[in-house]
Structure 1
């Protein structure tokens, strides 16, 4: 598989041109990823992990709004592989979404080149593998989209940016966890928490993970990349100024600690204005019986002294539960005066004045099907087929792979067992919809929607009903792509389905995702035009019943 980077780049440019893809003068970023197994001890126990170019976390993708990304992935592991770039909207291009319902996997010993443009986006994101339970063993990395030079940012340029890729972790690898789930059991609670591939307890000797200079301000992009556990982030003796959530500038409130739920990312500013020495970044679990904690050392350059043994208590230690986290969510506000990836202010999009054309209420559940654990939404537990639903639809073979609208817009009123079906919702292009997530279980839930950002307008305890809309934030709710739902509570989001393609809505709790708590939105443009959706890439991998079929006539403008 040897190749020269220059030859690779030249071939890719020729291929892009031959595919008829025109990105204008926007810059290109080329990356080669070698995905291999390696050995690391994230929690002190050596185990097999998934490395990208020998790294965990994987290489940072640092790009600017409207940049073109060309990422050539070489699969050296022994399982099929796909990557998703969570939160990158892939405008008109669900072909590159990296989900089992949109793409055929990269088989062992082969490679595939992702090509995408990060159009009109800024913010903090992550990428990770979506096939099987690979995410439990790594292959995860940060993705930052910077504002273009001509777009003002609502804070001074920080001295440096730091990525904090944290999450719960299992000492059992992805194959062992998959075997447990396939046998019909839960994988249980994780073994600990890692930060950037490391873990430490207070007082243990450790090298500094981040270094700051006195008087300077730094941006920390913090992401929860775990499997199931909400995390609390706090800095010893330092307050955090929140400036961005998942691609949206926020009103810049100060926080002593922040709850970041699975799949979520936030940016904070930290000013090095304390006595020059070492301090702890503390990450601890939320909403589980036995609190797990890990720390990383933040060092002042030329500082003198170890971190203080007196650490700020976390919410679990002070017995503060869901109310603190729910109130924190309500405190998050969109910065209406800040520019987004475009010169116009974020708040120029007045979502609160748009008529809702469809309301979808989704209730999560768990149950046993044929004696095995499954999870679902509105009574349906999703299963992937050999042929991705996007390819089946595009090649006119949908009837052979799935049925539209097995799931209904309201949860069933009875307690019938879960049914296992390929779960595709037929959606209307450019409709403005409302999605209600209602959680009747005792554990926190979290959801992500590919292809779109949505406005997180409401979150309350109890059951949702139409009169709850009076509590919605219809002015400055944050535009984001994840939402959490507390036990016996509901959360509401609104979005415009203005991105044609096949898009995954999923639980961010990966055990639940793997066992069926997900669906796909089919958003077809009536015009079948290149103005609305790109053609299938020339290098698309074909599998299942479409493997040997000729491609349909391409879309034209």
Structure 2
């Protein structure tokens, strides 16, 4: 009996030891050198931002719950930051990569990002958040794969391809920034790129290959500046399976409108004649349609791609109707983003309604863009640092915008920060009074996209909401003279950026920050400032505040 107890005790000790060894989730380590380089994406040599010599930058290929460590060395001649578009930094806005949350990486310096991707299986990307660096590269794909314990609602594809599509300018980022600083806009893009290539360069060799009879996953992200792009593959329908971290009802599409900042994952089966085929990305809602093509080749291809390209849809009503076909896959065990309240979001009482209205105005003869009459400016001290050190009033004022805006005589130019009570369920209405399409993104969260309609929003419109299976996502488009409604629980403490994904508008003030404060100041709700965090502005040289505890 004693021997048996000893064996049981030994077994328990071994199990306990194994548990300790495997307690922490796996780590992925990357070292990135950010530098300038010269490429010719539109046939014109120009300066771009390279990461480890690559344009676009390297893919991050992670699995849910991985800890991602990215040591970024800034070899540019100006400050630099990367933001991880759509990755929910749970309790960790310190790693968000926006100027309101952290100090930029100074030239010649480095910063090590550390974030955990958690269970948000899907397709994302990263890009520079400083200035207009996004206009010249520094972007790349970021995928979160499923752990073996979490099944996905489709068979494993033969291969997995990242497709980054974007509008492109041949001007340098300094020239584009100079235009905005002088009160002018970029104007029409010079072209469109697919994975950093366009035209003859893209078609000189296949971008991707497919084996006959096999099914492939394509992760399509619009990493551009301002233009909605329509994506399609010659002769091949696409089965949509995921968008921005949520598995969706698997409808089949001939083409998809991908708005700025959005990502879709589709399955494509190589069941056509063995030859080459074009993938096509073309501009939408522009007077002049610009197009990029890239080759997908069957491995037994015996003919070049047909020069007859599939046509793109016309009008934004088509795009609105496509949005209405998107539904969350409620039977899938994944992808489900980190809980934002209950998945039964339609049964939660709304505690606050915030209407976001985009607009523009002239200030001193120069163009500015606003949210509810406020045009945001970044200061020398990140908002999060001022708040964490206990003197936010020296840097900004909370809630200078109104939840239900009224026309302003003149815009306010100031840091734009709204305080939202921790764990409240909020309805956000994006209302677009202009003639151009808008795209909005919220860091740190996914929201339920419940409705999108022409006209102006009124409370009576709630009867048209999808309160059952609206897709949980992080970026939403708003059509001209229309509105879009989203709902979410603000349960992720931190300082989070809400921005126009259109670079001109974001740079000229159409962004804001949402402060979600945990009243208990506990590590259960928010992490302490990282040891490697840079201190700048008013907090330069100050000792770190008393850390949070459990």
TM-score for both structures, normalised by structure 1: 0.93
Correspondent of 2:516 among 511, 523, 529:
523
SS of structure 2 residue aligned to 1:513:
helix
Q: How does 1:46-445 map to 2 (within 5 A)?
A: 46-200=45-199, 205-315=203-313, 320-341=314-335, 349-412=343-406, 414-445=407-438
Q: How many angstroms does 1:551 deviate by?
A: 1.2
Counterpart Cα distance in 2 of 1:173 and 1:135: 11
CA contact 1:201–1:293 (8 Å) conserved in 2: no
CA contact 2:246–2:335 (8 Å) conserved in 1: no
Partner of 1:13: none
Partner of 1:7: none
SS of structure 2 residue aligned to 1:428:
coil
> Alpha-carbon deviations, 1:184-216, whole Å to 9, x = none?
1111111110010100169x9521101000000
SS of structure 2 residue aligned to 1:452:
coil
Q: How many angstroms does 1:416 deviate by?
A: 1.3
Deviates more, 1:499-508 or 1:115-124: 115-124
Q: How many angstroms does 1:397 deviate by?
A: 1.8
Partner of 2:529: 536
Counterpart Cα distance in 2 of 1:146 and 1:266: 14
SS of structure 2 residue aligned to 1:399:
helix
> Alpha-carbon deviations, 1:489-512, whole Å to 9, x = none?
000000110000000000000110
CA contact 2:118–2:338 (8 Å) conserved in 1: no
Taking structure 1 as reference, are residues 256 and 347 closer, same or farther at Cα in structure 2, changes over 3 Å only? farther
CA contact 1:338–1:345 (8 Å) conserved in 2: no
> Alpha-carbon deviations, 1:424-464, whole Å to 9, x = none?
00110000000000000000000000000000000000000
CA contact 2:239–2:250 (8 Å) conserved in 1: yes
Unaligned runs of 5+ in 1: 1-21
Taking structure 1 as reference, are residues 384 and 346 closer, same or farther at Cα in structure 2, changes over 3 Å only? closer
Aligned residues: 530
Partner of 2:9: none
Detail structure 1 runs of 4+ shifted over 4 Å in the superposition. Answer: 341-348
CA contact 1:458–1:491 (8 Å) conserved in 2: yes
**Structure exhibiting the larger radius of gyration computed from Cα positions:** 2
CA contact 1:363–1:438 (8 Å) conserved in 2: yes
Unaligned runs of 5+ in 2: 1-20
> Alpha-carbon deviations, 1:213-236, whole Å to 9, x = none?
000000000000000000000110
Q: How many angstroms does 1:418 deviate by?
A: 1.4
Taking structure 1 as reference, are residues 190 and 152 closer, same or farther at Cα in structure 2, changes over 3 Å only? same
Q: How many angstroms does 1:311 deviate by?
A: 1.8
CA contact 2:119–2:336 (8 Å) conserved in 1: yes
SS of structure 1 residue aligned to 2:420:
strand
CA contact 2:357–2:432 (8 Å) conserved in 1: yes
CA contact 1:337–1:346 (8 Å) conserved in 2: no
Q: How many angstroms does 1:120 deviate by?
A: 2.1
SS of structure 1 residue aligned to 2:267:
strand
> Alpha-carbon deviations, 1:143-176, whole Å to 9, x = none?
0001110111000000000100110000001111
Q: How many angstroms does 1:344 deviate by?
A: 12
SS of structure 2 residue aligned to 1:433:
strand
2:468 maps to 1:469? no
CA contact 1:336–1:346 (8 Å) conserved in 2: no
